[in-house]
Structure 1
Amino acid sequence: MVGPFIFFDHIGPVDLAKGLPREADVRPHPHIGLSTVTYLFAGEIMHRDSTGIEQAIRPGEINWMTAGGGITHSERFERARREGGPLHGIQSWVALPEEDEETTPSFAHHEGDDLPVHQDRGLWLRLLAGEAFGLRSSVRTHSPLFYVHAALQPGARLELPRQYAERAVYLVSGAVEVGGRAIDPLRMAVFADGDETVIEAQAPSVLMLLGGHPVGDRFIEWNFVSSSRQRIEQAKADWRAGRMRLPDLDNSEFIPLPPDPTRASASAEAH
């Protein structure tokens, strides 16, 4: 984990063909104990969830879904199905503090002035959540953190915020160095407290900056995050038994619970 960030998925970049089959969509599935954070560089995703929300997300916007005690949602590529087009983005998961793990599920969409922008001498950045670089995002979070989309021109420099105990940078594209050491594209560099964190671009570069204060150890299995292994087992049982409500506007199908990884491993060894 880096602060409360427990999962980080780079989506694409990919060009989706017009007429994309529905099987390519992410069907309804559950989450507990976390917030999913979706941010796009290109394309569009249609979100529907069990709180009744239907919300498209487009480049430069944030969908922040807090699962708390349990939520289900789907992510569908309906615009690409109609028109074709690119898809490129990041989805991260933020673990909730122990006292908020069972909070009421909620969803928030943010764009425009909610996500402040700063530009200076070859540096452009958008603050997606938290506080950093003298900016404050309107996104509500449950623990101290920062999450930033940054673009640097060659020679531009940027230092990660010092007020957070855990910090990282993910290089989406381009070439950057920290303390004379290169960060490989599509890799995340994680820094210990007190480490040198001045990033210098060697080429036009796009980065995601993230971090925050730790929230403690977590278990993670499939789409579930919790400080309690027993709570994850309960969530699995609830999903298997159909006790978690599907999105009102997308309830005709769902992703079934995958096989238990330990049981699957034992079965494979037996054969």
Structure 2
Amino acid sequence: MIEMVIEQRRRSLGGGVEVGRVLPFARRRMVGPFIFFDHMGPLDLASGVDRSVDVRPHPHIGLSTVTYLFAGEMMHRDSVGSVQAVRPQEVNWMTAGRGITHSERFERARAVGDHLHGIQAWVALPTGDEETAPSFTHHEGDDLPQWHDRGVVGQLIAGTAFGLTAAARTHSPLFYAHLEMAEGSSAEIPAGHAERAVYVARGEVECGGRRHAAGRMIVVDRTASSIRALRLSTVMVLGGDPVGERLLYWNFVSSSQERLVQAAADWREGRMKLPDADDQEFIPLPDGLVPSAPAMS
């Protein structure tokens, strides 16, 4: 049974780049630990594109960012010393913990042009891990188990599902997978977690007796078991166990409003280290922000 359908809302990141913002949503802030979900593209970037499309260095606390591409390339640099491109069907997994800064730049696009399409998600850390040491890992190949089943090609991005386990370290029970579904094929929605959702990145699927086009997240209850592709479709399935109430403040996530205020002050006053390989500019703290209402999962 369907609990809720969330339509993406277009948001500008500046420089002509837009994303489809799905989470957080006013009436559904989280799905399990997933507190942020942006659909990037599809977008064509011409050779020589201006640097204004880049995401300059900025901070995070209390979460892991998960960058996954269907097409294109992004270059990641962070304050723990990582310099790593992410390409299609690879994962950049960055755990902010007590604080990290990073940038994401489109260097390949500037050189030769590119077609960008992907998802960036944020996973809120459990309360006991919110102040963990920041870290970064890159995953490809055998780290991301794949399978084929009657018209479905799947890749597990994180967690445990479909009888497989991905390599990225997660701090709470969750699953996150990419499915390429041929027309008429069906796939299960992994069970065993309190909260689950399906996101249609391309194509059209049937779930809960209704048709759902691209750009739509379908939040399902424990009784929902499968989806069927009505045409060639790219689908993300995700979910996990709730981690509790969370507040959002710009790029920061925390169970404590005081911690959010401290993080904002640290960034404003220059107390958060910039990436060594990208320390000549940064995104200032926006004016007029206040911590959000609790993000209830």
**Contact 1:174–1:206 (Cα < 8 Å) also in 2:** yes
Structure 1 residue ranges, 4+ long, deviating more than 3 angstroms after superposition: none
**Contact 1:179–1:197 (Cα < 8 Å) also in 2:** no
Q: Secondary structure of the equivalent of 1:141?
A: coil
Select the structure that is richer in helix.
1
Is 1:174 the counterpart of 2:200? The answer is: no
Is 1:32 the counterpart of 2:24? The answer is: no
Indicate the RMSD between aligned Cα atoms, in angstroms: 1.1
Shift of 1:262: 5.2
Q: Deviations over 1:32-65 (max 9, x none)?
A: 0000000001111000000011001100100000
**Matching residue of 2:251:** 223
**Matching residue of 2:112:** 83
Is 1:209 the counterpart of 2:264? The answer is: no
**In structure 1, what is the Cα distance between the partners aligned to 2:159 and 2:285?**
33
Is 1:240 the counterpart of 2:268? The answer is: yes
**Contact 2:249–2:290 (Cα < 8 Å) also in 1:** no
Count of matched residue pairs: 262
Is 1:155 the counterpart of 2:184? The answer is: yes
**Matching residue of 2:228:** 200
Q: Deviations over 1:104-128 (max 9, x none)?
A: 0000000001000010111110000
1:46 pairs with 75, 79, 92, which one? 75
**Contact 1:72–1:246 (Cα < 8 Å) also in 2:** yes
**Contact 1:44–1:58 (Cα < 8 Å) also in 2:** yes
Q: Which amino acid aligns with 2:212?
A: I
Q: Which amino acid aligns with 2:247?
A: F
**Contact 1:176–1:201 (Cα < 8 Å) also in 2:** yes
* Structure number with bigger Rg: 1
Q: Which amino acid aligns with 2:266?
A: D
Q: Which amino acid aligns with 1:31?
A: H
Q: Which amino acid aligns with 1:223?
A: N
Q: Secondary structure of the equivalent of 1:214?
A: coil
**In structure 2, what is the Cα distance between the partners aligned to 1:29 and 1:196?**
39
**In structure 2, what is the Cα distance between the partners aligned to 1:168 and 1:101?**
24
**Contact 1:167–1:212 (Cα < 8 Å) also in 2:** yes
**Matching residue of 1:190:** 219
**Contact 1:178–1:199 (Cα < 8 Å) also in 2:** yes
Is 1:66 the counterpart of 2:79? The answer is: no
Q: Percent identity?
A: 64
Q: Which amino acid aligns with 2:226?
A: V
**Contact 1:28–1:254 (Cα < 8 Å) also in 2:** yes
Q: TM-score, normalised by structure 2?
A: 0.87
